[in-house]
A and B are shown apart, each in its own frame.
Chain A
């Protein structure tokens, strides 16, 4: 009986502080592998209770990998909703879940965000994972997810040349002049230790109330947002943006594809 009562008291008093980390990155860039290596590195330093919330669009196969590693995980699918809007409307509940489980750290992993967006929140450490194989100009195309990150983690560096790693890093630096840029090997875990060292001292929170996103989510609510599938002017209502097509415009350098 006493035990029972004590448990109840713990449940109600449990508004302990917890760290929150947001991890974003293009699909298959290695987010899950980086998070797992990070969890191992943190555990080695006695930082035990870490949970993950995985935001995905349609399907995810990472749940098993987290469970195998003994990491509590909740997966949410945005389905037909904008993945960015889905993330921000669920993140507060994710924090409540983390608090109720008594985690030291909660990591959110978002895949399938469009490049227009970022899940990064002011004051909350933000990681963007991007891989060396994704093309040398990719960092310059990704947008806010990379631009507003505090830490940019570059993966798959073990299979490209040193020169390509350096050029890739240079291109990341061009887009985000302030971030810490780290190379992490998702297979061996090399580099994860440094990342864990940065994150260990990050801010503790109990709630996200009064905090803001670092970047706006997309303007939306056009007819297609609400399920329209027919194509044609008469079906297009709400917020729309139209491209300009010049008639018989000569092919100039800027239009003939990507430069450099």
Chain B
């Protein structure tokens, strides 16, 4: 699209009508008061000459910026969302010992990462994030769809590939849940923001132990509610095909459902965890020690059976938790007769 052409041949109002985001462009340059019945170049020529001077710029320069701006926001860019699989080819641990492994994770699959604190879990996560090509301290190579990305691709994908979610994350914006989600939808240039916002909100409420309204301020949500909203938002709104999760076990949310929301949206999930339920419900788990991958364990019938027991234990704890919340006395065995 020739954006110079558009700027010259339609009025500012028409341009905004076609590309609402141009309103932001005018805001950013403090040009809200511009005469919108004129094409942009004329409106600029007719405007107060002093602001041009204050901006240290001229009409041509602003037209260039206008074209760049629309180019960046209106032109569809190559999306990272259609990545089918990711493969981590082993490098070496901190002492230089080879890892001797190659792990491929397809979309919709979950890989859990276990190991003592400080063993190198976050190093693995950052290798994935930057698509290491044997050039990070671990020597690992990360491939996309079975092949090594070209340098160009690697830079292009940087920042679009991975969404992160961790225990320490908070909301800092002073907005209601609705405003917050709308703002995110807007930045994603979503075509049906209302629809996607209400879906996110509903899912978040399903995950959260205690319900919240769409007009609640995000900063007033409880820990569990915040986590629930972050997960729903990552699943439905974020374009990143890979999700890295760092210890969400104590969040007070339905953890299993959280993971299934992510995988049902075709995300590739890497999850660093100490929680038996989460670790065992992954398709595979890798064990890290001394900065290196020492083992890759596929889920087995045996472990799936153990998972059932762990699930039962977990359900009991959940029941006790909800009884506590209701102010009940916890008598031995009383929770067994309850439903969740």
Stretch at the interface among A73-81, A92-100, A171-179: A171-179
Residue pair B130, A167 in contact (C-beta under 8 Å): no
Residue pair B230, A161 in contact (C-beta under 8 Å): yes
Q: How large is the interface on A (under 10, 10 to 19, 20 to 34, 35 or more residues)?
A: 35 or more
A45 to B134, CA, bound (A): 11
Interface flag for A170 (CB, 8 Å): yes
- For A162, A170, A173, A260, which residue has the most chain B Cβ atoms within 10 angstroms? A162
Residue pair A174, B170 in contact (C-beta under 8 Å): no
Enumerate the 9 nearest inter-chain pairs by beta-carbon distance, A residue then B residue, closest first.
A170-B187, A177-B72, A177-B68, A190-B126, A163-B184, A167-B187, A162-B163, A163-B233, A161-B230
Interface flag for A197 (CB, 8 Å): yes
A residues 134-174 in Cβ contact with B at 8 Å? 136, 140, 144, 157-164, 166-167, 169-171, 173-174
What are the residues of chain A within 8 A of B25 when measuring CB–CB? Answer: 174
Shortest C-beta distance, B261 to chain A (Å), equals 14
A177 to B226, CA, bound (A): 31
What are the residues of chain A within 8 A of B169 when measuring CB–CB? Answer: 158-162
A215 to B55, CA, bound (A): 10
Number of interface residues of B (CB under 8 A): 47
Interface flag for A229 (CB, 8 Å): no
Interface flag for A103 (CB, 8 Å): no
Chain B residues within 8 Å of A, Cβ to Cβ: 24-25, 27-28, 32-33, 56, 65, 68-69, 71-73, 122, 125-126, 129-130, 135-137, 155, 158-159, 163-166, 168-173, 180-181, 183-184, 187-188, 226, 230, 233-234, 237-238, 240
A128 to B152, CA, bound (A): 22
Could you list 7 examples of A-B contacts with CB < 8 Å?
A136-B183, A160-B172, A174-B28, A177-B71, A191-B129, A193-B136, A260-B27
Q: Which residue of chain A has its CB nearest to the CB of B239?
A: A166
Q: Which residue of chain A has its CB nearest to the CB of B68?
A: A177
Assuming A44-B137, A191-B129, is B180 touching A163 (CB within 8 A)?
Answer: yes
What are the residues of chain A within 8 A of B164 when measuring CB–CB? Answer: 157-158, 162
Number of A-B contacts defined by CB within 8 Å: 103
Contact of B32 among A144, A181, A254 (CB under 8 A): A254
What are the residues of chain A within 8 A of B27 when measuring CB–CB? Answer: 140, 259-260
Residue pair B187, A191 in contact (C-beta under 8 Å): no
Shortest C-beta distance, B183 to chain A (Å), equals 6
A260 to B6, CA, bound (A): 27
A133 to B136, CA, bound (A): 29
A76 to B170, CA, bound (A): 37
- For A44, A161, A166, A190, which residue has the most chain B Cβ atoms within 10 angstroms? A161
Q: Which residue of chain B has its CB nearest to the CB of A136?
A: B173
Residue pair A159, B159 in contact (C-beta under 8 Å): no
What are the residues of chain B within 8 A of A160 when measuring CB–CB? Answer: 169-172
What are the residues of chain A within 8 A of B234 when measuring CB–CB? Answer: 162-163
Shortest C-beta distance, B160 to chain A (Å), equals 10
Residue pair B72, A166 in contact (C-beta under 8 Å): no
A216 to B137, CA, bound (A): 41
Residue pair B69, A174 in contact (C-beta under 8 Å): yes
A45 to B139, CA, bound (A): 12
